[in-house]
Amino acid sequence: MKKLLVALFVLCAAAQAQAQDKAQLDKAKAEGKASFYANITAVEPIIKAFTTDTGVTGEYTRISTSKFVATMITEFEAGKLMADVVQAPLPVLDLLKEKGVLATYRSPAAAGYPDWTKKDDKVQIFGIEYVALIYNKEKVKAADVPKRYEDLALPKWKDKIVMPNPANHATTISWLIGLKENVFKTEAEWRSFLQGLAANKPMFVASFGPTPAPIESGEKLIAISMPKYIVTKAPAPLDWARISQPLMGTPRAIAVASKAPHPAAARAFVDYWLSKKSMEMLAKDVGEYVLAPGIYPPIDGIKEAKVIAIRELSDAEIQKWGAEFKKIFDVK
Amino acid sequence: MDSARTRLTWLLIAIVGALTVCPVVMLVLGSFSEGLTAFGHFTVDKYVQAYTDPGFFEVMVNTTIFVLASSLLSTVLAIFLAYLNTRTDIPFKFLFKIISIIPMMIPHLLFTVSWALLLNPSNGLINLGLKEVFSLDSAPLNIYSMWGMILVEGLLDLPIAYLIIAPAMASFDVALEESSRVCGAGTWRTLLRITLPVLRPAILAAFILGVVRSLASFAVPSVIGMPGRVHVLATYLYEMIATGFATDYGKAAAVGMSVLVASVTLIIVYRALTAESEKYVTISSRGFRPSVIELGKARMPLFGLVSLLSFVLIVLPVAVLIYTSLVPYSMVPSAKAFSMMSLKHWTDVLNDPISLLSLKNSLFLAVVGATLGVILSIFVAYVIVKVKTRAAGVLESLSYLSFSFPGIVIGVGFMWFFVQTPLYATIWALLLGYIATYLPYGIRPMSSAFVQIHSHLEESSLVCGASPLTTMRRIIVPLLIPGIVSGWILMASMFVRELTLSVVLSRPGTEVLAVQILRFSEDGLWGKLSALGIVMILISTTLVVMATLVGNRFKAAQG
Amino acid sequence: MEIRIRGVSKYYYSDGKTIKALDDVNLTIPSNKIFTLLGPSGSGKTTLLRCIVGLETPDTGEISIGDDVVWSKDKNISVPPEKRGLGMVFQTYAIWPHMNVFDNVAYPLQVRKLPKDEIRQRVAETLRFVQMEGFERRPATKLSGGQQQRVALARALVAEPRVILFDEPLSNLDAKLREETRKELRAFLGKLQITAVYVTHDRVEALALSDSIAVMRAGQIVEIGTPQKIYFDADHRFVADFIGRANLVKATVRAEEGGCTVVDCGLGRIVCQHRDIPVGSEATLCIRPEFIRIVSGEAPAGSNLVNGRIESLVFVGEAYEVEIGVGAEHLLARIDPDAHLVEGDAVSFTLNPAHCLLVAI
Is the domain of C275 the same as that of C201? no
Low-confidence stretches of chain C (pLDDT beneath 70): 14-15, 297-302, 361
Cis peptide before B317 (omega within 30 of 0): no
Query: Does B239 contact chain A (CB < 8 Å)?
Result: yes
| SS3 of B490-509 | HHHHHHHCCCCCHHHHCCCC
Contact B36 A69 (CB under 8 A): yes
Domain boundaries, chain A: 28-128+250-290, 129-247+305-329
Is the domain of C72 the same as that of C200? yes
Tell me: pLDDT of A36 over 90. Answer: yes
Cβ(A133)–Cβ(A240) below 8 Å: yes
The whole domain housing C39 covers 3-241
Query: Does B236 contact chain A (CB < 8 Å)?
Result: no
Question: No. of H helices and E strands in chain C?
Answer: 8, 21
User: C66: phi > 0 → left, psi -120 to 50 → alpha, else beta; which?
Assistant: left
> What ipTM was reported for this prediction?
0.77
Residue range B40-96, pLDDT digits in tens: 777 777 788 777 777 788 888 999 999 999 999 999 999 888 888 877 888 877 777
Contact B245 A168 (CB under 8 A): no
pLDDT band at residue B278 under the 50/70/90 scheme? very low
Give the pLDDT of residue A17: 54
Mutate to test the interface with C, among B452, B458, B464, B470 (most CBs of C within 10 A): B464
Catalogue all structural domains in chain B, each as residue range(s) with its CATH number: 2-557 (1.10.3720.10)
- Chain A residues 173-212 within an 8 A CB cutoff of chain B: 173, 203-212
Q: What's the CA gap between B266 and B400, in Å, rounded?
A: 11
Give the pLDDT of residue B257: 83
Is the domain of C54 the same as that of C197? yes
When divided into structural domains, chain C yields a total of 2
* Higher pLDDT, residue B257 or A6: B257
Cβ(B394)–Cβ(B245) below 8 Å: no
Distance from CA of B219 to the nearest CA of A (A): 11
**Collapsed DSSP state (helix, strand, coil) of residue A112:** coil
Is the domain of C266 the same as that of C214? no
Helix (H), strand (E) at residue C304? strand C304-315
- Boundary of a domain, candidates C241, C261, C285: C241
Confidence (pTM) = 0.76
pLDDT band at residue A218 under the 50/70/90 scheme? confident
Note the Cα C64 to chain centre separation in Å: 23
Contact C96 B285 (CB under 8 A): yes
Residues of B with CB below 8 A from C107's CB?
461, 464, 466, 474
Tell me: pLDDT of A13 over 70. Answer: no
Q: What's the CA gap between B456 and C93, in Å, rounded?
A: 8
C contact chains, 3+ CB pairs < 8 A: B
- Boundary of a domain, candidates C202, C217, C241: C241
Give residue B364's identity as a one-letter amino acid code: F
Give the pLDDT of residue B264: 77
Give the pLDDT of residue B116: 81
Is the domain of C25 the same as that of C68? yes
- Among C238, C241, C197, smallest CA distance to C216 is for C238
CB neighbours of C109 closer than 8 A, spacing ≥ 6? C118, C119, C122, C123, C158, C159
Domain range A129-247+305-329, CATH architecture = 3-Layer(aba) Sandwich (3.40)
The mean-pLDDT minimum among A83-92, B62-71, B377-386, C8-17 falls in C8-17
Which residues, listed in sequence order, are joined to residue A256 by a DSSP beta bridge? A85
Q: Do domains A28-128+250-290 and A129-247+305-329 have the same CATH topology?
A: yes
- Boundary of a domain, candidates C221, C241, C261: C241
Q: What's the CA gap between B72 and B154, in Å, rounded?
A: 8
Distance from CA of B442 to the nearest CA of C (A): 22
Half-sphere exposure of C169 (CA within 13 A, CB side): 32
**Collapsed DSSP state (helix, strand, coil) of residue A132:** strand
Q: What's the CA gap between C140 and C256, in Å, rounded?
A: 62
Mutate to test the interface with B, among A51, A160, A162, A168 (most CBs of B within 10 A): A168
Is the domain of C99 the same as that of C215? yes
Give the pLDDT of residue B43: 76
pLDDT mean over B509-525:
82
Give the pLDDT of residue C301: 66
CATH assignment of the domain containing C219: 3.40.50.300
Residues of B with CB below 8 A from A95's CB?
245-246
Contact C78 B558 (CB under 8 A): no
Q: What's the CA gap between A293 and A126, in Å, rounded?
A: 10
Give Cα separations from C53 to B281, C24, C81, C151, C165 (angstroms): 22, 18, 6, 20, 8
Phi, psi (5° rounding) for residue B412?
A: -65, -35
CB neighbours of B127 closer than 8 A, spacing ≥ 6? B119, B120, B121, B139, B140, B141
Distance from CA of B29 to the nearest CA of A (A): 13
Is the domain of C229 the same as that of C260? no
* DSSP string across C68-112: EEEEETTTTEE--GGGS-EEEE-TTTT--TTSBHHHHHHHHHHHT
In chain C, the residue whose alpha carbon lies closest to the alpha carbon of B477 is C98
Cβ(C88)–Cβ(C164) below 8 Å: yes
Contact B247 A70 (CB under 8 A): yes
Is the domain of C227 the same as that of C254? no
Give the pLDDT of residue B288: 43
Is the domain of C220 the same as that of C250? no
pLDDT band at residue B417 under the 50/70/90 scheme? confident
Give the pLDDT of residue A239: 94
The angle formed by the CA atoms of residues C59, C60 and C66, to the nearest 5 degrees, is 115
Is the domain of C234 the same as that of C130? yes
- Partner residue opposite B463 with nearest CB, options C87, C99, C112: C87
Mutate to test the interface with B, among A129, A165, A176, A208 (most CBs of B within 10 A): A165
Is the domain of C175 the same as that of C190? yes
- Which runs of consecutive H residues, i.e. helices, occur in chain C? 45-53, 101-111, 116-129, 145-157, 175-191, 203-209, 227-232, 237-243
Task: Mention the CATH class of domain A28-128+250-290.
Answer: alpha beta
CB neighbours of B535 closer than 8 A, spacing ≥ 6? B349, B359, B513
Give residue B82's identity as a one-letter amino acid code: A
Is the domain of C174 the same as that of C273? no
Contact B524 A211 (CB under 8 A): yes
Cβ(A24)–Cβ(A34) below 8 Å: no
CATH assignment of the domain containing C330: 2.40.50.100
